[in-house]
Amino acid sequence: MKRKTKIVIVSGKGGVGKSMLSSSLAILFSKKHKVVAIDADVDAPNLAIWLGEIGGWDKIEKISVSSKPVFDYKKCDGCGKCADACQFNAIKMISGKPHLNSFTCEGCGACEFICPQKAIKLKPVNSGKIKTKNTKYGFSLISGGLTPGETGSGKIISKIKKIAEEYDYEIMLIDSSPGTGCPVIASLQGVDFVVLVTEPTPSAFSDLKRVLKVVNYFKLPWGLIINKKDINKALSSRINRWAKERKLGEISYDQNIFKAIASFKPIMETNLMAKKEIQTIFNNLLLRIKNI
């Protein structure tokens, strides 16, 4: 394993156990390696919850990664060219003046560019927050959060990863958002290994194949984990046959996992079967990344 190894945990479907696994792997890696953990699910960051680290942030920084137009109505002559140029229908002409729907605006700047009266200026907006702390396990946690209604999740993740590079680390663990969109693509860029997490349901398996297309586009090595393996044993067996040598392990379904997280108790501090199963997954993962 090279000195700096970046591992991202992704899933096509949400709620399959990605953050549970990310938190557990971060704890296990930190026993022998310098770790920096990133919560890159900026729409619903919860890695801190799975680590039992919900408060006590060392630094909370507001960031801006996008802009929105501001109209100078003294200069505006009501020509409507800005509304015509907006491909997102975010600008509407009302009583001869442009008005912005900030929830649909993408901050592209077309309106500012086309305005003949120079009555529009793009101004930075509060896109979200980046929170950092040193956990009780001795590794650093960086968590990003997107302001509700704002855009730019991929840009926030890129900024978080840039901040993480300033840390002295051997392992960077990235807890990605689910799906195949911009946040996932930003999380995948520049990593060394991808851990895919799924569950034995038709929707999760279908979404897994979709996100795998993105992983394969970047030509990244990957391994697969099945969580809640016993909720559909037949489908679990089918997924295992499909994964072949890419299988890293399985985790049993256990309602006590939800009781643990409700008490902010990390899985690696319990005596649940999942703890032993994740330890096995960790050992298999070490074998996969040792030659990277």
pLDDT at 132: 97
Q: What is the pLDDT of residues 197-251, one digit of tens each?
A: 999 999 999 999 999 999 999 999 999 999 999 999 999 999 999 999 999 999 9
Looking at the fold, whether 233 and 272 belong to one and the same domain comes out as: yes
Q: What is the pLDDT of residues 136-166, one digit of tens each?
A: 999 999 999 999 888 889 999 999 999 999 9
Last residue of some domain: 75, 95, 124?
Answer: 124
Looking at the fold, whether 184 and 86 belong to one and the same domain comes out as: no
Looking at the fold, whether 201 and 257 belong to one and the same domain comes out as: yes
Q: Domain limits at 164?
A: 5-64+127-289
Last residue of some domain: 104, 124, 144?
Answer: 124
| Among candidate residues 222, 178, 225, the one with its CA nearest the CA of residue 200 | 225
Last residue of some domain: 124, 157, 173?
Answer: 124
Token output for 244: 């072949």
Looking at the fold, whether 53 and 145 belong to one and the same domain comes out as: yes
Looking at the fold, whether 214 and 75 belong to one and the same domain comes out as: no
Looking at the fold, whether 137 and 191 belong to one and the same domain comes out as: yes
Looking at the fold, whether 218 and 247 belong to one and the same domain comes out as: yes
pTM: 0.90
Looking at residues 50-71, what average pLDDT do you find?
Answer: 94
CATH number of the domain to which 155 belongs: 3.40.50.300
| Percentage of the residues of the chain whose pLDDT score is greater than 70 | 99
| Among candidate residues 123, 87, 130, the one with its CA nearest the CA of residue 106 | 87
Contact call for residues 23 and 267 (beta carbons, < 8 A): yes
Looking at the fold, whether 212 and 154 belong to one and the same domain comes out as: yes
Looking at the fold, whether 49 and 185 belong to one and the same domain comes out as: yes
Q: What is the pLDDT of residues 240-287, one digit of tens each?
A: 999 999 999 999 999 999 999 999 999 999 999 999 999 999 999 999
Looking at the fold, whether 100 and 89 belong to one and the same domain comes out as: yes
pLDDT at 149: 83
Taking the CA atoms of 261, 264, 266 and 272 in sequence, report the sign of the dihedral they define.
negative
Looking at the fold, whether 22 and 77 belong to one and the same domain comes out as: no
Provide the pLDDT confidence category of residue 93 given band limits of 50, 70 and 90.
very high
pLDDT at 2: 58
Looking at the fold, whether 110 and 228 belong to one and the same domain comes out as: no
CATH number of the domain to which 73 belongs: 3.30.70.20
| Domains in the chain, number | 2
